[in-house]
Amino acid sequence: MEGSPRWSWPLAALVTWVVGIQISEAVATVGLAGCMLTALWAARRAGRQAFMAGLREWWPLALLLGWALLAPTLAGRPPSGSGVARLVDWVAIPAAVWALGAVGPRGARVLLGVAGGVLVLSSLIAGLQHFGIWPQPETLTPLMPFKVSLLRVYEPIPGAEGRFMGGGLLFHRLKFAHVSALVILALLAFGLRARGRQRVLALSAAVVGLGAVLVFPYARAASAALVASCVAVLVLGSPRRKLALLLGGLLAVGAVG
């Protein structure tokens, strides 16, 4: 087909990004660069006026970034180079959205399938780490050159003997909790709109990930934020608002308990 090669590289960039954010920042950076190139390519095809119109829709993000740069500067402590670099990560959101628009519905389903698969795998590994069913640190020494924070998954949970802070494929409990939360919300939103097998798979992966984030990493603030966000997605994305509120309430009570 004439258009096939043209659509394949944006999908490859997105897949690299959604896999990378769950396993390695280096891989995620490569995928993000591909998404940036896709955004520039899409802007060129759309024309200057259409691109500027689309860019204006992101004014809340621009306002957030501007304030994040201005506030510390006014306080007499301008952001460092690394701080500015971390802020640039927010640009990934519009870049990913534009790249997603280039792959179409079928590409989006492939992307979510890959993201869900990696989430489930990372959740299972976090479970093994949490219960201590994990190799000793010296066994994982060959991974040291990759600058993986291996020792973090051996940190015990206070007051829970034989339980450790699982970090999944990222080997870091907070990174695992925060990144997985974003993937869970995407799968939940998609699953509420999908039908048939796609709905079952998306919601199943979201439930597995949710359970993993609530139990394995011992990240209470991230867990609370994730539960609140899931309730919001359920209420906004479900046509049965009362049932969604009931499920959200049960989810919140279960998380607190």
Dihedrals φ, ψ of 18, to 5°? -70, -30
Instruction: Count the Cβ atoms, other than its own, within 10 Å of residue 25.
Output: 13
66-120 residue pLDDT tens: 998 898 899 888 888 878 878 877 888 888 888 887 788 888 889 999 999 999 9
> In a 3-state reduction of DSSP, which class is residue 58?
coil
Give pLDDT, residue 241.
Answer: 62
Is pTM beyond 0.75? Reply is yes
Does the pLDDT of residue 254 top 70, yes or no? no
Higher-confidence residue of 39 and 130: namely 130
| CB crowding 181-205: b at 16 or more within 10 Å, else e | bbbbbbbbbbbbebeeeeeebbbeb
Give pLDDT, residue 251.
Answer: 61
Q: Where are the beta strands (DSSP E) in 74-207?
A: none
**How far is C-alpha 225 from the chain's CA centre?**
14
Q: Residue 143: pLDDT band by 50, 70, 90 thresholds?
A: low
Report residue 133 as tokens.
């069913």
Give pLDDT, residue 202.
Answer: 94
Closest of 255, 96, 126, 252 to residue 186, by C-alpha: 96
160-193 residue pLDDT tens: 888 999 999 999 999 999 999 999 999 998 998 8
| CB crowding 55-75: b at 16 or more within 10 Å, else e | eeebeeeeeebeebeeeeeee
Q: What is the torsional sign of CA 120, 121, 124, 125?
A: negative
Higher-confidence residue of 215 and 103: namely 215
